[in-house]
Each structure stands twice: as structure tokens, then as C-alpha cells.
């Protein structure tokens, strides 16, 4: 009986030792005997690794953006002006019967000289052709001709009777079937470019 009591006491002691083997300083056992905090620790490590990779990616993007914005990274270009060559040569048409007016412009030093010539008065009911041309170092737009009343005291005053733009490119331009009021008229060219070397405008009957 005494041995039986001792055996039972040992069994109880072993059971107590098994129940009190875990301390407050150790993690409680989870399923399968592994510490319950192991998955949380692994997730934290994975999150930290992902953060490091994100920081590296941001650093690479910032470096690339800085390289793109760096003016030194853009190749420089040298522009070479193209020589347009000599300006076109104009041939002023000769006077013809019934011509109403003309103006011839030539280069004079740093400026230009205008020679206006009045012809016969315009006839009522008759149509006329305006022929113009302009030559310059480089082709340009912005030049025009204008027809004015040439009655005494009117030259240089008032609005033109007719006007039309034409390019200063050495090509001859014509306006046909133009009706004019009866009487004396004059023609002028306006807006010549600074490098213009010659121009003319003529009104003649059709």
C-alpha cells in the first residue's frame, strides 16, 4: 500500500511539472506546437523587405527624372543659315499706249527710291490690268499695291480706290478686268521688305 501511494504521488508530480513548464516570458504554443507569433513576425519581415524594394524603386525613378531634366543631357544643335543666293532680277515692262500709271522702285544706298509716272486718264467703261513684281534677298509676304485718285490735291490723302497684297518673290503678278473711275489715277507699292532691291507696278489697258 505504501508503494502504491508513492507511485500515485509521482504521477501527480509529473502532471504538475508538465502544466507549469511554460513561463510568462515564452510565447504560448500554437497549432502544431509552433509559437503563435511566428506568422506575425514573418509578415513584418516581408513588409519591411517590400518597403526597401519600394524605396529603391523610388530612388531609381527620381534619378531617372533628374537625368531627364538635366539640360546637360540634351544634345546641342548648331544652326547654319542657308544662303538664299542673289535676289531675282526684275524686268520692268516698257510703256505702252493707253497706260494709266506706273511706279518703279530701286535701291538707293541703304534706302529705296520711288519714281511715279502718270499716264493717260482712265476711261469710263474700260477695264485695265495691274502688273506688279518685287525682288528681295529672301521671299516674303506683306507687300501690296494701291491705286489712288490722282486729281490735284488728292495724292497722298484719303483711302485707296483699290488695293491688293502680293508676294515679294520675284514673280510677276497680274490683276485683270479691273474697272477704274474716269480720270487720273496713280499706283503705289507698300510694305516692301528691308532687303527689297527692286519693285514695280503698272496699270495698262486690256
Q: What angle do CA 110, 113, 116 make, to 5 degrees?
A: 165
Average pLDDT of the segment spanning 154-172 = 88
Q: Considering just the CA atoms, what is the radius of gyration of the chain in Å?
A: 51
Whether the per-residue pLDDT at 111 is higher than 80: the answer is yes
19-28, 70-79, 85-94, 186-195: range with lowest mean pLDDT? 19-28
* Structural domains for the chain: 101-199 (2.60.40)
Average pLDDT of the segment spanning 20-40 = 42
Whether the per-residue pLDDT at 141 is higher than 80: the answer is yes
Q: Which has more pLDDT, 158 or 98?
A: 98
Q: Specify the DSSP class assigned to residue 122.
A: B
Whether the per-residue pLDDT at 143 is higher than 60: the answer is yes
Instruction: Give me the percent of the chain exceeding a pLDDT of 70.
Output: 60
- In degrees and rounded to multiples of 5, residue 190 shows phi and psi of -130, 155
14-23, 81-90, 178-187: range with lowest mean pLDDT? 14-23
Whether the per-residue pLDDT at 117 is higher than 60: the answer is yes
What pTM was estimated for this model as a whole? Answer: 0.60
Whether the per-residue pLDDT at 174 is higher than 50: the answer is yes
Whether the per-residue pLDDT at 38 is higher than 50: the answer is no
- Span 56-96, pLDDT tens digits: 544 445 444 454 555 566 667 777 767 667 889 999 999 99
Q: Which has more pLDDT, 6 or 41?
A: 41
- Under 8 Å CB-to-CB from 113, ≥6 apart: which residues? 105, 106, 107
Q: Specify the DSSP class assigned to residue 74.
A: S
Q: What is the pLDDT of residue 9?
A: 40
Amino acid at each position: 500500500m505504501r508503494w502504491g501511494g508513492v507511485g500515485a504521488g509521482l504521477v501527480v508530480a509529473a502532471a504538475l511539472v508538465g502544466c507549469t513548464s511554460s513561463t510568462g516570458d515564452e510565447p504560448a504554443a500554437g497549432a502544431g506546437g509552433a509559437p503563435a507569433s511566428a506568422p506575425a513576425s514573418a509578415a513584418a519581415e516581408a513588409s519591411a523587405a517590400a518597403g526597401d524594394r519600394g524605396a529603391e524603386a523610388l530612388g531609381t525613378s527620381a534619378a531617372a527624372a533628374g537625368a531627364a531634366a538635366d539640360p546637360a543631357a540634351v544634345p546641342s544643335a548648331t544652326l547654319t543659315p542657308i544662303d538664299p543666293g542673289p535676289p531675282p532680277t526684275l524686268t520692268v515692262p516698257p510703256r505702252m499706249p493707253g497706260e494709266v500709271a506706273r511706279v518703279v522702285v530701286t535701291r538707293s544706298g541703304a534706302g529705296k527710291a520711288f519714281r511715279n509716272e502718270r499716264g493717260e486718264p482712265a476711261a469710263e467703261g474700260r477695264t485695265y490690268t495691274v502688273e506688279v513684281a518685287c525682288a528681295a534677298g529672301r521671299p516674303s509676304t506683306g507687300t501690296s499695291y494701291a491705286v489712288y485718285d490722282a486729281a490735284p490735291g488728292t495724292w497722298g490723302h484719303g483711302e485707296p480706290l483699290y488695293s491688293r497684297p502680293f508676294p515679294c518673290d520675284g514673280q510677276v503678278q497680274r490683276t485683270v478686268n479691273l474697272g477704274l473711275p474716269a480720270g487720273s489715277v496713280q499706283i503705289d507699292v507698300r510694305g516692301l521688305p528691308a532687303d527689297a532691291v527692286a519693285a514695280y507696278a503698272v496699270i495698262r489697258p486690256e
